[in-house]
Structure 1
Amino acid sequence: MDAVSNPYSPGAGTKPPELAGRDDIRKRVSVCIERLKRGRHDKSILMVGLRGVGKTVLLDQMRQDAEAAGAHTVRIEAPEDRSLPAILAPQLRIALLRLSRIEKAKDHAINALRALAGFVGALKVNFGDIEVGIDAEALPGLADNGDLESDLGALLAEAGTAAQKAETALVIFIDEMQYIEETQFGALISALHLCSQKGLPISLIGAGLPQLLARAGNAKSYAERLFDFPMIGALDSNAAARAITKPAQDEGVVYDDQAVAKIVQHTHGYPYFLQEWGKHSWDTAQESPITSADVDNATQTALAALDESFFRVRLDRLTPSEKKYLRAMAALGPGPHRSGDIADQLGTKVQSVAPTRSSLISKGMIWSPNHGDTAFTVPLFDEFMIRIMPKN
């Protein structure tokens, strides 16, 4: 098969050729944004799911959908080592400059830029990583108290007013939200709550690992009333099959039914893994149709590619004790597992490994579906740990 024509695209946040099985959530977000544009309230949306389910791809597609519908957007990713004000301020500046070009929103957008100037100036003391030039003079008393919660609320209220005057919506898209520090997350929730109370067309569409739901609740008790938390999971068998077969059909190539069934079985329907198996099955096959034997041959190369990239990049961030903890988890299967069972597997007490567990949660490697339970955030990581560390 021609490698140049291979339609599959495994990669971090790379859009697959067929975004199968996600129409409902895209529609939900589109309705939310359209309601805001018409002056009607709707909840913000925080998507939660494991690694490899396509949250980043969805977030970017939703942003494209929003902009195509006339909304103004901000897109940021929350890294582990930067503050929310530092990553939000530069992108919000760009959105406000665009709003300032709309005549009926111009004055309000300029006011929002002046609020942003005050916001940045006041918070530089506490958040030294803020680096942004503002083309406006700060207005004393506007978003410049030096308190993140009150200043962010004032800032977003000004931005929301500008969007309202422009008869549009301002939508903030944030990826990897589980890395936002709790007090900063609380300030963001409080600011959005204020905008909702004022009836302003500003919303947050976010994505993060499953622990995001608990983090939101810890940050502000009313978060569940402000957000919907749709779970983004593996694709069902029909959608997974479509994600594999449709891109090939577009290139004039077909799969036999058994080949498709094997790919769905190996990948468990996770979108990233579907792209890996599709890519390697295509490269392995000599001609159409792609057969079950082709998939068998591709499985080893697909696993090797995952081990050296998708899985390895996460393993290399871990300490020896953290790797040992995950290997003990893996010995018990995909999970979730009781913390006591993992400790027993390690031959120690729960209290002794509690710091290791907390560190792995902070690094986004595991999460707690229920009190005392522990699960991997990366699908199939248990199988990888057994391959990479055959002996516990």
Structure 2
Amino acid sequence: MDPRQNPYAPGAGTPPPELAGREDVIEKASIALDRIRAGRSARSLLIVGLRGVGKTVLLNRLNQDAEVKGITTLILEAPERKSLPALLAPALRTAILKLDRLAAGGELAKKALRGLGSFIQAMKVKYADVEVGLDLGIEPGLADTGDLDADLTALLRAVGEAAKDRDTAVVLFIDELQYVEENELAALITALHRCSQLQLPITLIGAGLPQLAGQMGNAKSYAERLFEFVPLDALSEEEARAALLEPAEKENASYEPAALESIFRKTRGYPYFLQEWGKHAWDCADSSPIRAEDVDNCATDRAIAELDRSFFRVRMDRLTPAERKYVRAMAELGAGSHRSGGISKVLGKSVNAVAPIRSSLIRKGMIYSPSHGDTAFTVPLFDEFLKRQMPNFDPLEGGA
């Protein structure tokens, strides 16, 4: 079939042609933002799930929906080894300038902008990655103590007051929140909590790996009351069928039922993988309908090869030899979560001996703990990739 008409879009955060199975989350966010803008209480949303479930895609969609409502948004990705003040400062400047234009000379937005100047001046002493750009001026006594909890609270309060003055809201969309340091998460939670108490129209919609819920709770014990954690999982078979069929039908193409069943079985309903298999099934098929033979004899080999070169490989390349051995031991035990003791037994070592490796893998976002003592991959199907890449696993090879 003509690759120029191929409707599927595998990629990091690339919006799929059909955002199937996420309607409830979209509606939940819409209601929350409408309430916050109206001065009513609503919990901030945190979307949590494995790699490949579409968290980034959904976050981008929610951001677009908020902008259509006339809400001022910041959309950010928290990288590893970057402080929260350095992440927020440039985006807050842009948001406040938008409010300043809306305010047509209003003082509250200008005060918030000067408050940001004070915040940057105070934070650059403690955080070396905070850059000083344009001279924003300063607001004496506002966000200038050098204490992140107090200053971020004061700054977000000033931004919230400026938004309220213009009958709008400000929403922080932050992806990969699990990479923010615990003390910085605590400061963000404190600031949002205070703004919520004052019913100011500023909130957070964030996304992160499954461990984010525990990290937020560790940072502040009341996080579970301030945030609504929205788990994002693989699609059901019906939702996966819609994600594949509806884009094809718009191009006057279809699938045999057996082809859809085969793709669902191989992808387990994970949205990223559905797009990958859909793309290759389309290119492999000579004509519509796409058949099971197209999937099994061509598309699957191409999809796996592409995932091995990109989606899986970039994660494997970040691991040290000891970390690779640990995750290969996990793969040896099969899919699902495994007890730490079982993994260490495969490695022939004690739980304490491999605990630092496990902790490092959690920090890198490669694994997480679904419950105390359990360990699972944050990347679906990673166990199968590891067996392909390291077929002859010897836990003793290369030493400890």
Alignment TM-score, normalising by the size of structure 2: 0.97
**Cα deviations by residue, 1:132-157 (Å, 9 ceiling, x for unpaired):** 42453101111000001100000000
Corresponding residue for 2:197?
197
CA RMSD, Structure 1 to Structure 2 (Å):
0.9
What is the SS of the residue equivalent to 2:354? helix
Post-superposition Cα deviations, 1:346-387, rounded to whole Å, max 9, x if no partner, equal 111111100110010010000001110000000000111111
CA shift, 1:106, in A, is 2.3
Q: Which moved further from structure 2: 130-139 or 258-267?
A: 130-139
Q: Among the aligned pairs, what percent are the same residue?
A: 59
The residue aligned with 1:25 is 25
The answer as to whether partners of 2:18 and 2:247 remain within 8 angstroms in 1 is: yes
1:83: how far off?
0.6
In the alignment, the residues of structure 2 paired with residue 134 and residue 213 of structure 1 have an alpha-carbon distance, to the nearest angstrom, of 36
Pairing 1:1-392 to 2, within 5 Å after superposition: 1-103=1-103, 106-296=106-296, 297-392=298-393
SS in 1 for 2:230: coil
SS of the counterpart of 2:255?
coil
SS, match of residue 101 in structure 1: helix
**3-state DSSP class of the match of 1:102?**
helix
Deviation at 1:102, TM superposition (A): 1.7
Structure-1 separation of matches of 2:201 and 2:29: 14
**Structure 2: unaligned runs, 5 residues or longer:** 394-400
- Partner letter of residue 385 of structure 2? F
Equivalent position SS for 2:376: strand
- 8 A Cα contact 2:174 2:207, kept in partner: yes
Distance 1:125 1:17, change over 3 A: same
Q: Residue 376 of structure 1 aligns to which amino acid in structure 2?
A: F
The aligned residue for residue 397 of structure 2 is none
Task: List per-residue Cα deviations over 1:178-218 (Å, max 9, x = no partner).
Answer: 00001001000000001011110111000000000010011
Q: Which runs of 4+ in 1 moved over 2 A?
A: 103-106, 132-136
For residues 64-89 of structure 1, what are the alpha-carbon distances to aligned partners after superposition, in whole Å with 9 as ceiling and x for unaligned?
00111121101111000211110111
Per-residue deviation, 1:334 = 1.3
Asked if the contact 2:258–2:291 (Cα under 8 Å) also holds between the matched residues in 1, the reply is: yes
User: What SS does the aligned partner of 1:75 have?
Assistant: strand
Secondary structure of residue in 1 paired with 2:101 = coil
Instruction: Report if the CA contact (8 A) 1:255-1:291 is conserved.
Output: yes
Residue identity in the other structure for 1:31: I
SS at match of 2:128: coil
The residue type paired with residue 17 of structure 1 is: P
TM-score, normalization by structure 1: 0.99
Once the two structures are TM-superposed, the CA of residue 104 in structure 1 deviates from its matched residue by: 6.7
Q: Displacement of 1:247 after TM fit?
A: 0.7
Deviations 1:108-154 (A, max 9, x none): 11110010000000110111111242453101111000001100000
Shift of 1:4: 1.1
What SS class does the counterpart of residue 231 from structure 2 fall into? Answer: coil
CA distance in 2 between counterparts of 1:309 and 1:370 reads 30
Give the match's secondary structure for 2:187: helix
Mapped to 1, the partners of 2:273 and 2:174 lie a distance apart of 24
